[in-house]
Amino acid sequence: MGYTAAGYADGGSCKFHFPDGNASVARLLVRSLNPQAVPGTSAEDVATARIDYTKLDRPDHTIRIRLGSLAVSLGSRKPAALLDAVEVVYSRMDRLYTSRARHCVLACWNMMIPYLCPQLPERQKEALHYLVKVPLVYSNVALTNWRAFHALGVSAIHCPGSYHSSVRLNPVTDIGSYRAPRSPDEPILVRMVRTPCRPGLPERDQHRTGRAELLATGFVTFEEKIRDQLGRMLGPAGFDPARDITAITVNRWPHGYAYEYNPLFDPDWRNGEAPHEVGRTRFGPIAIANSDAAAAAYTDAAIDQAHRAVEELLTG
């Protein structure tokens, strides 16, 4: 979602923001797997690197990355104890393909795994269904300048009760050849955050209700709300939505963040009995990853779970 964990040992911050969000993390992972596809040698140059997509999926490469492919089922007709291979069916370019492998890591939304692999034990499927994703909206607004923010002396505004609950100038990040805006006269991006929900319901039901709202809300509504909110907040400092907004993109994730337990609504499970722990149990040659498997919605959790899943297959 844009922020990644960083270590303290070298004096770094607990947060770091690449200009393109977590896309740079994915670029770095792809570069380590296939250096020919992503030019450069460091984190500093990856943000502006241009990927050669023709080199991601080549028959002569040991590691192949196939984009635009949606898995629709996997498993085998054998019981888990006898599984010696995994059969994956996926859709690509309006056709279905089948691939077989000795092992598989499922790093998708964990809540979808029972539908992809119905062979799982009922207890494990029930645990995976418990993890209801958190809906989330990041609206990015391109401004011709940020003089109004400068005049007010603010870079971020928290506004509980408004349609978007926070408004923030894009963080200043200089990395490699990329340079962030410095002058208030320069164009900039503003990020506005909305987490749709229905107060008064249990948390997981709030997420479901928020998801339904996102699916039913058109872009016109978002645009009207954004222009109205920014106009009321920044208007006294000279901001004019009609003049100063050049573009709006609404990134809506009905299934955004991994579910994180809330003591107001969730039981206090014994160690190893929480739904995310039961749900990520290895099933024969199939290991399960994703931040859902940690019940934590951040990049470091996803990386830790990927490492655990691979270790399970290697040691098994």
CATH number for the domain that contains residue 221 = 3.30.70
pLDDT of residue 77: 64
Is position 269 within any domain? no
Counting as low any pLDDT under 70, the low residues of the chain are: 1-16, 77-83, 174
Q: What is the Cα gyration radius of the chain?
A: 22
Question: 196, 254 in Cβ contact below 8 A?
Answer: no
pTM of the model: 0.83
| Residue 88: strand pairing partners | 74, 99
- 73: which strand partners? 89
Confidence at residue 8, expressed as pLDDT on a 0 to 100 scale? 47
Does residue 209 fall inside a structural domain? yes
CB 28 within 8 A of CB 46: yes
Q: Confirm whether 155 is domain-assigned.
A: yes
6 in any annotated domain: no
102 in a domain, yes or no?
no
Question: Is 68 part of a structural domain of the chain?
Answer: no
Handedness of CA 7, 11, 14, 18 (dihedral sign): negative
Q: What is the pLDDT of residue 178?
A: 73
Closest-CA residue to 285 (of 72, 84, 79, 100): 84
Domain of residue 251 covers 134-257
Tokens for 160?
Answer: 């509980």
Strands (E), the chain: 3-4, 16-17, 70-75, 86-92, 95-101, 104-106, 134-143, 156-158, 166-169, 188-194, 245-257, 286-288
Q: What distance in Å separates the CA atoms of residue 174 and residue 6, rounded to the nearest whole number?
A: 16
Query: Quick check: is 94 in a domain?
Result: no
Assigned domain for 189 exists: yes
The pLDDT assigned to 14 comes to 55
Q: Is 40 exposed, middle or buried (0-12, 13-18, 19+ CB in 10 A)?
A: middle
Residue 186 CA neighbour count, 13 Å, CB half: 10
Render pLDDT for 229-241 as a digit per residue (tens, 0 to 9): 999 999 999 999 9
* Structural domains of the chain, count: 1
Counting beta carbons within 10 angstroms of the beta carbon of residue 143, is it exposed (0 to 12), middle (13 to 18) or buried (19 or more)?
A: buried
CA 156/CA 17 separation, integer angstroms: 15
Q: What's residue 6's pLDDT? A: 45
